[in-house]
Structure 1
């Protein structure tokens, strides 16, 4: 019977091509506009660390101005998203976390001796050895540096597969040498191209920017005089650092280092919370941390919310796109009503021959669903065009999020079918309740 209803629906669509085309267009335009916005919101809210959401934590310490919360008084409980260098050094000495990572963004001029390759600026992540294991970054060749490199000035580098192809033609480059700002670094590992969207591990420096191409040990700060190429914030005046040089910068209250820990059990987490509380109390006794005792251990899913990756205006656009789809559904209701009432004599004859109201209603609801499927497929095409337009308007910013995966394609068809069924309920009910005797006199 279902196949028979499908056959009737397709025959009806062919019989009224103009009305059918208008209904399909109404659904397709609504779905296309909605899915363009919803796809962007969906991609922006992805959590690449979802599989570790119960064990990974971003660490925050409230070392900010005692008279004002971080970034003003709009949220008096807000803490800095990053840590100071001096606090980082103490936290790295803890043996409680299974793994822990201190890191920040940097950049350097990359060159090779005896090479015709032109120098280029490479994006660098200065980090600790646990970075690759904690964030599940896979190695093609070699591995990470030894733990003592996190505290000593050992010039080693891990590069990405893409960088390896650029510098060494894709060969196993472990043991080869490159120069960063003229300083020789030995390649000890090559990782697969790792580019999560968004960058949950670093939401402070462009959540949708590409990940870094090179990774060097955290212990190189003093030797190379490394400053962060990312966010660097302080609540004290910079003139207090005058005359203190680079060491003054490292021991200042500037926050610029991101910190993550892996805590695999509740007991381990409790121990680490006690450790942080004890450290803050010690610092209070020395005149630091003048705000009420507060720290944060935030899971990746919560970290996305804290950093407002998906902003309120994006959510509003999502609701507005669904409101536009609703307008299209209302238009489809009027078109379906006109189409179905034109078929009232045919429905009257079927009722007189014994068809029930339920079968008439089901037949026309299935016809509405067929319109939705066609409209959904066309809506996918319109959404794709909309995302291409977003890419061009965003000038490359949206390249990594403005595309539809299979989930969103199926969602587009599903949304179109639901919209068409909603549009078809009243017209199908109307025609199923027509009086057949009126039409028998004229047939």
Structure 2
């Protein structure tokens, strides 16, 4: 019976092409607009580290001004650490893995004279960064442990950078120049580009992953500053110059730890408590003792990756879809009432009101299917326009996967069924005797 009703629906749609096209367009426009916004919100709210949500933690320490809280975050603790605090935490052997890091950049050149030097985004980090965030290697691996504290000039390349410099070949052991200094390649990554870039939400959560990775122990040799956010409230007695910057109260280091179980988590909390008390005795950390260990899902919320504005836009897009559904109700009512004589004949021949109602509701569902497919095309056009307007900033999130495509069709069918309930009910209530005289 369902197949028969579908065939009746197709014939009915063909019989009134203009009205049918208007109904499909009403649903398609509403679904296309709403799915454009909802897809962006859905992709922005993804957690690429969801599988490690119970073992991975961003570390925050409240080393801020004793007279004023750090107001940027909801928990009033700086998002990042000072260099001296990061180096102190690296001495702990409690975490299974831990990584200190920040953003930087280099001018890259090689012995290939045909390749012009280019600027590359870099991540200055410790060797456990790659294991901590499940970064895959295609060649080699990370640098030795002593490179985290001593100036060892080694580098890990992204897959794209390796293809640019060495044509995708195994470049482990070969040399490149960074700012004119020779660095030995120790590893090449496979494709890896998490979105949002959860390990560093301070510098654009949807930016591309870095092109090169450099050991943390090179700070003093090259006087490396952060290319990301640096905030501070006092220099204290740290002195001037680069060493003064390293010893200042400026926060510019992101810090993550991996803690496998509750016991390890409690031990690390005790360690942080002891460290802060020790620093208080030295005149630092003058605010009340406070720190935070935040898992990836909470970190995304804390950093407002999906802002309130995006949520408001999502509700507005659904409101627009509701307006389109109301328009579709009027169009369907006009179409179904034009078919009232046909429904009256069916009723006179023995069809029940329920059968007539289901027949027209299935026709509404068919309109939803066509509207959903057209809505997907409109959403893809909308997302493509957003990619162009954003100049590549959100390319990774302005895309529609199969799940969202299925959601678009499902939303369209639901919207069309809601729009068709009243018109289908009206036509099912027609009195057959009114139309038998005219047939």
TM-score range, shorter chain: over 0.9
Conservation of the 8 A alpha-carbon contact between 1:64 and 1:80 = yes
Partners of 2:13 and 2:304 in 1: CA distance? 46
**Aligned-pair distance for 1:440?**
2.2
Conservation of the 8 A alpha-carbon contact between 2:162 and 2:168 = yes
2:7 paired residue number: 7
Candidates 81, 84, 101, aligned match of 2:82: 84
Residues 21-55 of structure 1, C-alpha deviation per residue, up to 9 Å, x if partnerless?
11000000111111111111111111111111111
Conservation of the 8 A alpha-carbon contact between 2:156 and 2:189 = yes
Conservation of the 8 A alpha-carbon contact between 1:48 and 1:200 = yes
Q: Does residue 1:400 correspond to 2:396, yes or no?
A: yes
Residues 72-116 of structure 1, C-alpha deviation per residue, up to 9 Å, x if partnerless?
6x95x4211100011101110111111101000111111124633
2:224 paired residue number: 226
Candidates 423, 428, 434, aligned match of 1:427: 423
Partners of 2:166 and 2:389 in 1: CA distance? 35
1:175 paired residue number: 173
Q: Does residue 1:251 correspond to 2:250, yes or no?
A: no
Equivalent pairs, count: 439
2:364 paired residue number: 368
Structure 1 stretches of 5 or more lacking a match? none
Conservation of the 8 A alpha-carbon contact between 1:48 and 1:198 = yes
SS of 1:302's equivalent?
helix
**Aligned-pair distance for 1:241?**
7.7
1:127 paired residue number: 125
1:261 paired residue number: 257
Give every structure 1 segment of 4 or more consecutive aligned residues whose post-TM-superposition deviation is greater than 6 Å. Answer: none
2:279 paired residue number: 283
Partners of 2:288 and 2:306 in 1: CA distance? 30
Aligned CA RMSD, in angstroms, stands at 1.4
Candidates 294, 301, 310, aligned match of 1:314: 310
Conservation of the 8 A alpha-carbon contact between 1:369 and 1:417 = yes
Candidates 181, 191, 197, aligned match of 1:193: 191
SS of 1:424's equivalent?
helix
Conservation of the 8 A alpha-carbon contact between 2:99 and 2:257 = yes
Residues 251-272 of structure 1, C-alpha deviation per residue, up to 9 Å, x if partnerless?
1100000001111111111111
Candidates 145, 148, 155, aligned match of 2:146: 148
Stretch deviating more after TM superposition (26-35 or 108-117) = 108-117
SS of 1:278's equivalent?
helix
Candidates 132, 137, 149, aligned match of 1:139: 137
Conservation of the 8 A alpha-carbon contact between 1:241 and 1:249 = no
Conservation of the 8 A alpha-carbon contact between 1:159 and 1:187 = yes
**Aligned-pair distance for 1:246?**
1.1
Conservation of the 8 A alpha-carbon contact between 2:207 and 2:394 = no
Residues 207-232 of structure 1, C-alpha deviation per residue, up to 9 Å, x if partnerless?
11111111111111111111111111
Conservation of the 8 A alpha-carbon contact between 2:238 and 2:247 = no
**Aligned-pair distance for 1:68?**
1.5
Partners of 2:156 and 2:66 in 1: CA distance? 40
2:63 paired residue number: 63
Q: Does residue 1:327 correspond to 2:296, yes or no?
A: no
Conservation of the 8 A alpha-carbon contact between 1:110 and 1:179 = yes
Q: Does residue 1:305 correspond to 2:298, yes or no?
A: no
Stretch deviating more after TM superposition (112-121 or 384-393) = 112-121
TM, length-normalised to structure 2: 0.97
Residues 134-159 of structure 1, C-alpha deviation per residue, up to 9 Å, x if partnerless?
11111111111111211111111110
1:161 paired residue number: 159
Partners of 2:349 and 2:159 in 1: CA distance? 71
Partners of 2:380 and 2:354 in 1: CA distance? 38
SS of 1:186's equivalent?
strand
Conservation of the 8 A alpha-carbon contact between 2:372 and 2:408 = yes
2:47 paired residue number: 47
Conservation of the 8 A alpha-carbon contact between 1:82 and 1:255 = yes
Partners of 1:96 and 1:243 in 2: CA distance? 32
SS of 2:344's equivalent?
helix
Partners of 2:31 and 2:112 in 1: CA distance? 57
SS of 2:59's equivalent?
strand
Partners of 1:339 and 1:169 in 2: CA distance? 62
Q: Does residue 1:352 correspond to 2:351, yes or no?
A: no
SS of 2:188's equivalent?
strand
Q: Does residue 1:112 correspond to 2:110, yes or no?
A: yes
